[in-house]
Amino acid sequence: MSVKLDEPGFDEGIYGQWERHWQREDTRKLTPVGKLITRSKQRALAEVIQKLDCDSVMEVGCGMGFTFEVISAFKPQATGIDVSDSAVATCRNKGLNVRKAKLEEIAEKYDLVVSDGLLEHFLDFEPYALQMARISSKYVILIQTDHASLLTRLMLFLEGVFRQGKNVPERDYRIGDFVGALRKGGFELVADHPLFLGSFRLLVFERKDN
């Protein structure tokens, strides 16, 4: 199926949804559970990224910069992109090297491409996963919600109640869906780290078509 990047899903284009999401002060703040999840992700990513042979790193969809702060601590020359002016401004105020750009606009290659909680928001995520594969010469890291987990379903329900429907909607993709998409891009899963009682997974992919 041919899908244009930023094709409208739900009621509007996903890029516009993200800008409105990060413009609101209340959605910029982590809930108590969100803080625990973020710390779990940050610890796991710090451990993994130190072991990878990579110099150039890009994060796609930096948001408020919680993941990119960890990347930058170990890879100071890393760069990040986001489509939201509000998100980019927040990251820059933290001193992070983030610019406004769309994934499909990136021409240069990176040893490692990272994405945290991004792909599940797209009506068809595969074109974006393949774009990540296109710009990576060695590794891709995806940090994704495991929608097969009962704990995940409960947390998403409670988060929706707390946020009063202000979150950007998620599609219930499975971990195997992401693995299959990256395999089409020439990558194989080489590590799978369960996070926060298995409700999230940190997936490490390595290019195999060199």
Give the pLDDT of residue 80: 98
Give the contacts of 143 (CB within 8 A, at least 6 positions apart).
41, 45, 67, 114, 115, 116, 117, 195, 200, 201, 202, 203
The span from the CA of 43 to the CA of 35, in Å, is 12
Give the pLDDT of residue 2: 35
Q: pTM for the whole thing?
A: 0.85
Residue 49: phi, psi to the nearest 5?
-65, -25
Q: Quick one: residue 197, left, alpha or beta (phi over 0 = left, psi -120 to 50 = alpha)? A: left
Give the pLDDT of residue 168: 62
Of 113-117, 125-129, 143-147, 163-167, the least confident: 163-167
Higher pLDDT, 11 or 197: 197
Give the pLDDT of residue 93: 95
* SS3 readout for the chain: CCCCCCCCECCECHHHHHHHHHHCHHHHCCCHHHHHHHHHHHHHHHHHHCCCCCCCEEEECCCCCHHHHHHHHHCCCCEEEECCHHHHHHHHHCCCCEEECCHHHCCCCEEEEEEECCHHHCCCCHHHHHHHHHHEEEEEEEEEECCCCHHHHHHHHHHHHHHCCCCCCCCCCCHHHHHHHHHHCCEEEEEEEEECCCCEEEEEEEECCC
Over residues 65-118, the pLDDT tens digits come to 999 999 999 999 999 999 999 999 999 999 999 999 999 999 999 999 999 989
User: pLDDT-derived band of residue 50, with 50, 70 and 90 as boundaries?
Assistant: very high
Over residues 155-168, the pLDDT tens digits come to 665 555 454 445 56
* CATH architecture label of 54-207: 3-Layer(aba) Sandwich (3.40)
Over residues 153-207, the pLDDT tens digits come to 566 655 554 544 455 677 889 999 999 999 999 999 999 999 988 889 999 999 9
List the one residue out of 107, 108, 100, 52 whose CA is nearest residue 80: 100
Higher pLDDT, 113 or 6: 113
Q: Contact, 200 vs 143, CB < 8 A? A: yes
The mean pLDDT value of the chain amounts to 85
